[in-house]
Chain A
């Protein structure tokens, strides 16, 4: 079993959905039941493979890539098929393989217009291949290919099954993301050539950056290109404008996948590629990233307060939450990035759940205009409670998953990595903390307006409004359970990520300049951006004196 997983596990997980999609492609579209079954079985099989990968994963060596496969792919450009899994990828991979079957179950009986389950499900499966592939790819070109593969299915999902304004939204989503990724590709290529690496494999590029020291200016530019590529995907203020449109127009399942997984591709890119490969440039960019992150937090929160549509409100709350994640990343500390990954998982579970709820409410009320909603707790009490639970989780109530994403991220800004301006980050910390207050404000207000009170007259006797159905419970229960489980025992995630994050950061960022000896600092060969040189020698002098 272990051998089989070692050589095939990740490849099977990545390409099984594609095989399922191919099979479905050959079956005529009238056989809807068969299509649903094939899609469900495929996604459950992938989830099973994911579970096996988790069980055999060596949790004592999360900083090492496991299940590595290294095969020749495009020799002409020195790109290889290299996949592997470490503690950073693992939680995100599991999140993906969990969300997809839930989405298929959820859509079982209510496919959005114009129905056509065959194409819809094929798109979801292709999407799954792209998402899993991005999380396991260890080669820049391979990463780029998977990163882009997700665009097409999502574009069609929004453009065909979306809301009234779907055409505008789908194209905007596509164009924004492609713009970023085109510049990202140029950055990847420049980095490859400037380092003179033998292949596009991450670890090798990283070694070469250290050895050849690409000029500071070039590093800054290259990081800038990656910043655009990943930052648009996250999305960071001011590139976030595609997100509310895409979310609002996308069908429920599309929104769920978008929020739960697709946005994480961007933050994952920062953690996996941009920061480990270009640490020096990261230090110079970090204050700006942090600034944009806190602007995103505050701006997103204010936008939420102003929204009249529930789905749009949740979309803007994503901007704010991803701001916390980016703030954690921008501190460049072990602590901050761990918090960020936790934030990604928590946001995936909670916001995914909120979009499920929004979809279910839309189905019942045929509107998500907040002022027409109300009294959900009377008409559909269980759904009302679930909404309350998710709102609490989203605003960061201790004991639920959201808390462990936000709180440590804020805290990490108190003590950013070497070379970062401490005062600036402490200011960010204060502002971000204010953001949590606003988050509580808009979420509770949403809850109050939609769940409390009495139903509005137009819906008072609507027979269409009933409590959660069985399929809905099947789709929601795992998410709700995980939100609670991670909230109570956050080590579920931190256990996997901690060592891996630590290994991905250069010692220069994390060395404690006050405690480390002169030799320790010397041996790290840090450039002057970390501000260690003077500090270290001072310390040395003092200790001698």
Chain B
């Protein structure tokens, strides 16, 4: 019997963003091969333009607004995926702005760097549409493998090499655990498409203990990716060792990608089994917030501090999931809250890293003490950093308050004691977090500079653009939260249940 392969129908409009991004990536790689050093100065600009070009089909898809299902439900382009793709692209664009001078100054390979960055970004925007265990896994690997390389990009620095190896080993281990979990899910339900897994659960397979084990493994695998306690141990070392723009990329985009997959799995796949994942998430959230914040208190290196604060922020982001199974309405709200948080977090965290990169260029150190008195030699950067830090702490009227507010809102709306309890844990944690954020701000404003050199800091145009974007977004989202809220009101549950 002849096995005839029939190409499934492809909605070209739906996959246009992926195709554009892929073409740009290929184009850049070809340029590098053909022109070698001559092409080098144009790489950053070309990648940036490529990302902007990718945004065009995204816009047309958004205006069109219909939900497009491809490959028998394995790949879906809906509002949820569009919003996240937009977040990924914007974050990727800012990371390119951050990288521009850093990579040149360090005399690192440049063309390859941007090629890898685009490849990783490609994995992320695929992740946003994946609704199938296999496409989720492929997207995950596509976004992770380039990231392993980029972490080790400062090849003459042993710390960077150590970080790369650590990240690689931990990442592969997490992938393996997750893959095992996926195989269990497949074994029970007999399908890899998430919505069909949901059907299988509804049909009575949900009570199987193998299913439970599968869910626990998959959630644990993504907990690695989003660096939730107790799966966070790789983060500080990797963040510290990696080139700082890559750290920014990991802490925002890569984390968001992990969240996206987790959301798709939970909401589309096993929403009905909330009795399994809700307690799991509750523990992860409470632990991440508390441990992340408490350890962050003791840090002296700002990048490590940002790593631990990122762990704590993960705890906040994941918290709404702990009550998402309460009702469909709560589930939708939890989803919106997490996406809102991701969008605002992307702006403020990238902004904070932009300031760190700029200041570290001058001080040559990432020790918090080297930022003392920054107000005297870099007033503009100090104001920007203050905005980002207090936004991260959730102080109105800066963007972060609305993100935190949304989390509290979901936790309170469930009306369950567990929800209130987590809200109180979160409230206490926002105070702890404020302590170290405010300490940094206070050092920058009130302390005397450690050096006598009071020359102002030179800021490159690309860094200025990155900072301007982040400050603007952080302020606008804080004062007019409706700007972000109208886009994040999306739902995955209609198709899931």
Contacts and interface: CB of A to CB of B under 8 A. Distances in A.
A167 B375 CA distance: 16
Contact of B438 (A155, A160, A183): A155
Nearest to B423: A186
B481 interface: yes
A75 B486 CA distance: 8
Nearest to B445: A160
A190 interface: yes
A159 B446 contact: yes
B381 interface: no
Contact of B396 (A148, A179, A189): A148
Chain A CB within 10 A, most for which of B406, B408, B431? B431
A544 B487 CA distance: 66
Contact of A175 (B401, B424, B431, B485): B431
15 contacts: A29-B379, A74-B485, A76-B488, A77-B485, A141-B405, A145-B396, A149-B396, A156-B445, A175-B435, A175-B438, A178-B434, A183-B427, A189-B408, A189-B409, A189-B412
B431 A77 contact: no
B29 interface: no
Contact of B428 (A73, A75, A179): A179
B274 interface: no
A219 interface: no
A143 to B, nearest CB: 11
Given A145-B397, A156-B445, A189-B409, A171 B438 contact: yes
A327 to B, nearest CB: 29
B390 interface: yes
A77 B435 CA distance: 29
B396 A167 contact: no
Contacts of B379: 29
Contacts, number: 98
Interface in B445-492: 445-446, 480-482, 485-486, 488-489
B442 A159 contact: yes
A167 B390 contact: no
A189 B489 CA distance: 19
Contacts of B408: 185-186, 189
A76 B438 contact: no
Interface string B176-188: 0000000000000
Contacts of B390: 152
A459 interface: no
Contacts of B439: 171
A156 B386 CA distance: 10
B481 A76 contact: yes
A185 B395 contact: no
B413 A74 contact: no
Interface string B421-432: 001101110110
Given A141-B405, A155-B438, A193-B413, 10 more contacts: A75-B485, A75-B486, A76-B336, A152-B390, A159-B446, A178-B393, A178-B430, A182-B430, A183-B424, A192-B412
B420 A190 contact: yes
Interface string A121-155: 00000000000000000000100111011011001
B482 A75 contact: yes
A148 B438 contact: no
A77 B407 CA distance: 12
A175 B482 contact: no
A141 B409 CA distance: 11
Given A77-B409, A171-B435, A185-B408, A166 B481 contact: no
A170 interface: yes
Given A77-B405, A183-B424, A149 B397 contact: yes
B485 A76 contact: yes
A487 B488 CA distance: 55
A190 B442 contact: no
A186 B431 CA distance: 14
B190 interface: no
Contact of A194 (B415, B434, B445): B415
A182 B482 contact: no
Contact of A193 (B412, B428, B434): B412
Contacts of A160: 375, 445-446
Nearest to A148: B396
Chain B CB within 10 A, most for which of A76, A156, A192? A76
A77 B415 contact: no
A148 B395 contact: yes
Interface in B71-123: none
Contacts of A155: 438, 442
Contacts of B428: 179, 182
A174 interface: yes
Contacts of A179: 427-428, 431
Contact of B489 (A76, A149, A171, A174): A76
A159 B442 CA distance: 7
A186 to B, nearest CB: 5
A145 to B, nearest CB: 4
B412 A171 contact: no
Nearest to A73: B482
Contacts of B430: 178, 182
Contacts of B445: 156, 159-160
A470 B482 CA distance: 49
A36 B405 CA distance: 37
Contacts of A149: 396-397
A74 B488 CA distance: 13
B441 to A, nearest CB: 8
A174 B441 CA distance: 12
B289 to A, nearest CB: 12
A179 B438 CA distance: 14
Interface string B385-414: 000001001011100011001101100110
A170 B431 contact: no
B476 to A, nearest CB: 13
Nearest to A194: B415
Contacts of B426: 182
A179 B424 CA distance: 10
Nearest to B410: A189
A185 B427 contact: yes
B227 to A, nearest CB: 24
B399 to A, nearest CB: 12
B445 to A, nearest CB: 5
Nearest to B427: A182
A27 to B, nearest CB: 13
B412 A190 contact: yes
Interface string B365-395: 0000000000100010000000000100101
A41 to B, nearest CB: 23
A186 B420 contact: yes
Contact of B442 (A72, A148, A171): A171
Nearest to A186: B423
A171 B434 CA distance: 9
A543 B407 CA distance: 57
Interface string A379-391: 0000000000000
A436 to B, nearest CB: 36
Nearest to B488: A76
What 8 A-B pairs have minimum CB-CB distances, sorted nearest first? A76-B485, A182-B427, A189-B412, A145-B396, A148-B396, A179-B431, A159-B446, A74-B481
A6 B174 CA distance: 61
A141 B397 CA distance: 11
Interface string A62-79: 000000000011111100
A56 to B, nearest CB: 29
Interface in A66-109: 72-77
A471 B427 CA distance: 45
A183 B425 CA distance: 10
A29 B396 CA distance: 26
Nearest to A126: B397
Contacts of B424: 183, 186
Interface in B308-364: 336
Nearest to A144: B396
Contact of B482 (A29, A76, A145, A152): A76
Contacts of A141: 405
